[in-house]
Amino acid sequence: MGLPFAHLNLRRNPFGELSTEERMRLAVADVARFVTLLAGPGTAVQFLDDSGHGKTTHLLALRALLPDAPYVLVPRTGSVTMPAGSPLLLDELQFLARRRRQRLYRRPLSLAVGTHVDLEDELRAAGFAVHTVRPSRHMTADRLALVLGRRIESVRRDDGPVPTLEAGAPAALLARFGADVRAIESHLYECFQRLREVQRVQV
């Protein structure tokens, strides 16, 4: 029996689930400018957007640059222990009860957060200088091509050709799915599952 995806010169479907480490390594996000801002207390960087639009990717890109910064994914129950340290990288902060957020804000720290709910007013009221980024607004066809190309190259098996997307595919995907990268990757997962040979992939 042949190796899975060997016929495509790939080790696996490039659009399957990634580990946290893989997501950090493959992230396409302009976050280096925030490293200095987060070095001292009193700054909050808010990645605000809908699900699948890049909030976690941006936080993980920051985590790659700030390996000593604690990262916490807040569960829907809001039941989580906040670690010490600064800056804190907090994903899905909207799930933390408001009163617990207010207690957190009283610490001498900086924050980078991912949220579906705009927390800028309450962060400013707590004394933070707030920088809000909406990742979906920066998603272009060229950037999407880079994101998807990295995914394919990351699972290349050997030298030689691998499946690639048609030249107009990123623009077509944005027209169909908007900036919902998660939905785009799910769609491409099914496309790659059906491939029988190395080719230009129609979307």
pLDDT band for position 4 (cuts 50, 70, 90): confident
Residue whose C-alpha is closest to residue 173's, from 52, 80, 7: 52
pLDDT higher than threshold 60 for residue 1: no
What's the pLDDT score for residue 196? 94
Domain parsing of the chain, residue ranges: 31-137, 140-201
Asked if residue 47 lies in contact with residue 59, where contact means CB atoms within 8 angstroms, the answer is yes
Tokens of 98: 């408001």
Q: What is the pLDDT of residue 3?
A: 74
Domain 31-137 classified CATH 3.30.450.370? no
**Is the confidence at residue 168, as pLDDT, over 90?**
yes
pTM as predicted: 0.92
C-alpha closest to that of 26 among 16, 40, 36: 16
Residue 2 clears pLDDT 90, i.e. is over it: no
SS3 at position 24 = helix
Torsion angles phi and psi, residue 20, rounded to 5: -60, -40
**Distance separating alpha carbons of residues 154 and 141, to the nearest angstrom:** 20
- With a pLDDT cut of 90, the percent of the chain lying above it is 98
